């Protein structure tokens, strides 16, 4: 479907920017990420169906921002708003296991999409079903991925 | 009754009209989202954002994208009232050097001889100072750019900093017309806070009697920024250029 970029931004830009701001906590980085999100979506506009793209934009924003954080961590830049801090900072008892002493080691072994899944489920409060829908996986796949994450986390903690 | 609290996407989708609000909490959230939408669209206008997104789609070179970040971060848009106040502050400086005749004969501070001129002012503690070539400036100095077209009809103003970041000052983006205002000195509607880029900030003013493609100028500027930063642009015969450099004071 042909997309008018200006209209598309007018409708969805604020939502995407809010999402990027909430993860990156930096206005310049969020603005940059927001534009990246639109570029990614618009480059695949032929694949967009007529249904609302809000979910796709939201999850793409999440992925883009987590990638930015991951790259910044790789560069060993001091950051008080890293993905690890975000995830470790959640109140969910389940993921208290995953404290940021070993989250770094833990996520190094995981697929990038596992970060996104953890972010959506643990931090954003998506249900397993909603997380599955957002990332295009089955609920059992999500459960398995999170189970693996917890298991690896516990093993690391014991070490 | 305790309201059900959902994740943010849920509220965003209600605000987009894709879902219906279920309770008062939803409605409060939607109101705040709508207010945020208005603020964001005012701060980041759709026409400008669309242009930047399109530019990025056609620009796989990530370095250029990095350069644009700098220019966003350091620009401070001024309200009409602020521009007016700044103009009042700068006005005496403008005419102290040029008299009351706006079609000045020469810019004794910046560029020799007749022709289009660029002026850079520093506003510090309420004092406005016209800066000359080689002036020492420092991080967080608040600069205001002004030009006098002196008959030139089109122009592009940009700067390159010591990190190799290119900042377009005029026009507002590479897709806008480069038509200059005539009739004397014109203040750009932005002040410009120097960031912590080291060494220098070099300003260019490219003018012509014919429309200038700002994107072409920015491409050329990008090449200088990545290479020898003391070079001038290679321009067609109908375009003129001037440059001035401000040196950055090291801040410990």
Q: What is the CATH number of domain A81-158?
A: 1.10.10.10
Chain A residues in contact with B58 by the CB 8 A cut-off are none
Question: Could you say which DSSP state residue B99 is in?
Answer: T
What's the predicted TM-score (pTM) here? 0.48
Closest by CA to A40, choosing from A8, A71, A72, is A8
Domain range summary for chain B, segments of one domain joined by +: 1-57, 117-248
- Altogether, the residues listed in chain A come to a count of 159
How far is Cα B105 from Cα A100, in angstroms, rounded to an integer? Answer: 66
Of A12, A28, A55, the CB nearest to B72: A28
Where chain B has pLDDT below 50, the residues are 1-4, 60-113
Question: Could you say which DSSP state residue B148 is in?
Answer: E
In this prediction, residue B33 carries a pLDDT of 94
Buried b or exposed e, range A36-71, using 16+ CB within 10 angstroms: bbbbbbbeeeeeeeeeebbbbbbbbbbbbbbbbbbe
In this prediction, residue B105 carries a pLDDT of 29
In this prediction, residue B55 carries a pLDDT of 76
* B34 Cα distance to chain centroid: 28
Q: Which of B17, B19, B53 should we substitute to test contact with A (largest number of A Cβ atoms within 10 Å)?
A: B53
Q: Which of A2, A8, A9 should we substitute to test contact with B (largest number of B Cβ atoms within 10 Å)?
A: A9
DSSP string, B185-208: EEEEEEEEE--S--SEEEEEEEEE
The number of beta carbons lying within 10 Å of the beta carbon of residue B52 is 24
**Which sign does the torsion angle of CA B57, B76, B116, B138 carry?**
negative
In this prediction, residue A103 carries a pLDDT of 62
Nearest CA in chain A to B55: A39
In this prediction, residue A11 carries a pLDDT of 94
Of A14, A39, A52, the CB nearest to B41: A14
Q: Determine what percent of chain B falls in helix, strand and coil, rounding each to the nearest 5.
A: 35, 25, 40
How far is Cα A102 from Cα A83, in angstroms, rounded to an integer? Answer: 13
Question: Could you say which DSSP state residue B179 is in?
Answer: B
The fold for domain B117-248 equals Immunoglobulin-like (2.60.40)
In this prediction, residue A73 carries a pLDDT of 59
How far is Cα B7 from Cα B21, in angstroms, rounded to an integer? Answer: 13
Closest by CA to A53, choosing from A38, A68, A65, A67, is A38
Q: Determine what percent of chain A falls in helix, strand and coil, rounding each to the nearest 5.
A: 75, 0, 25
Q: Answer whether B53 sits within 8 Å of A5, measured CB to CB.
A: yes
ipTM of the complex as predicted: 0.70
Q: What is the distance in angstroms between the CA of the first residue and the CA of the last residue of chain B?
A: 57
Buried b or exposed e, range B116-142, using 16+ CB within 10 angstroms: bbbbbbbbeeeebebbeeebebeeebe
DSSP string, A64-100: HHHHHHHHHHHTT---SS-HHHHHHT---GGGGGS-T
Domain range summary for chain A, segments of one domain joined by +: 1-78, 81-158
Domain A1-78 is in which class? mainly alpha
In this prediction, residue B173 carries a pLDDT of 78
How far is Cα B24 from Cα B14, in angstroms, rounded to an integer? Answer: 13
Where chain A has pLDDT below 70, the residues are 1, 46-52, 72-106, 156-159
In this prediction, residue A148 carries a pLDDT of 85
In this prediction, residue A7 carries a pLDDT of 92
């Amino acid at each position: 479907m042909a997309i008018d970029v200006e209209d598309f931004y007018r409708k969805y830009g604020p939502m995407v920017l809010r999402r990027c701001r909430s993860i990156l906590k930096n206005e310049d980085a969020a603005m940059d990420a927001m534009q990246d999100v639109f570029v990614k979506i618009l480059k695949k506009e032929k694949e967009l169906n007529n249904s609302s793209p809000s979910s796709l934009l939201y999850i793409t924003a999440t992925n883009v921002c987590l990638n930015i954080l991951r790259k910044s961590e790789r560069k060993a830049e001091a950051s008080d708003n890293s993905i690890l801090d975000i995830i470790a900072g959640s109140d969910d008892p389940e993921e208290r296991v995953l404290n940021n002493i070993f989250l770094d080691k833990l996520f190094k072994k995981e697929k990038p999409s596992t970060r996104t899944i953890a972010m959506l489920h643990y931090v954003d409060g998506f249900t397993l079903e909603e997380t599955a829908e957002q990332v295009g996986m089955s609920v059992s796949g999500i459960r398995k991925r999170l189970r693996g994450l917890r298991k690896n986390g516990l093993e690391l903690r014991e070490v | 009754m305790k309201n059900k609290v959902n994740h943010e996407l849920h509220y965003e989708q209600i605000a987009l009209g894709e879902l219906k609000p279920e309770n008062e909490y939803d409605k409060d959230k939607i109101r705040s989202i709508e207010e945020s939408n208005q603020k964001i669209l005012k701060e980041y206008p759709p026409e400008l954002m669309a242009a930047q997104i399109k530019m990025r789609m056609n620009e796989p070179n990530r370095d250029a994208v990095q350069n644009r970040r700098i220019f966003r971060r350091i620009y401070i848009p001024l309200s009409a009232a602020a521009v007016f106040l700044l103009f009042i502050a700068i006005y005496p400086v403008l005419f102290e050097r040029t008299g009351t005749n706006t079609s000045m004969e020469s810019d004794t501070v910046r560029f020799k001889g007749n022709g289009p001129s660029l002026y850079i002012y520093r506003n510090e503690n309420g004092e406005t100072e016209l800066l000359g070539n080689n002036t020492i400036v420092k991080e967080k100095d608040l600069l205001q750019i002004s030009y006098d077209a002196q008959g030139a009809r089109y122009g592009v103003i940009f700067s390159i900093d010591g990190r190799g970041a290119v900042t377009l000052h005029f026009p507002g983006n590479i897709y806008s017309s480069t038509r200059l205002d005539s009739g004397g000195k014109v203040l750009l509607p932005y002040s410009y806070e120097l960031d912590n880029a080291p060494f220098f900030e070099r300003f260019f003013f490219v003018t012509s009697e014919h429309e200038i493609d700002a994107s072409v100028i920015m491409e050329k500027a990008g090449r200088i920024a990545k290479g020898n930063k003391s070079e001038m642009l290679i321009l067609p015969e109908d375009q003129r250029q001037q440059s001035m450099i401000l040196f950055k004071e090291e801040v410990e």
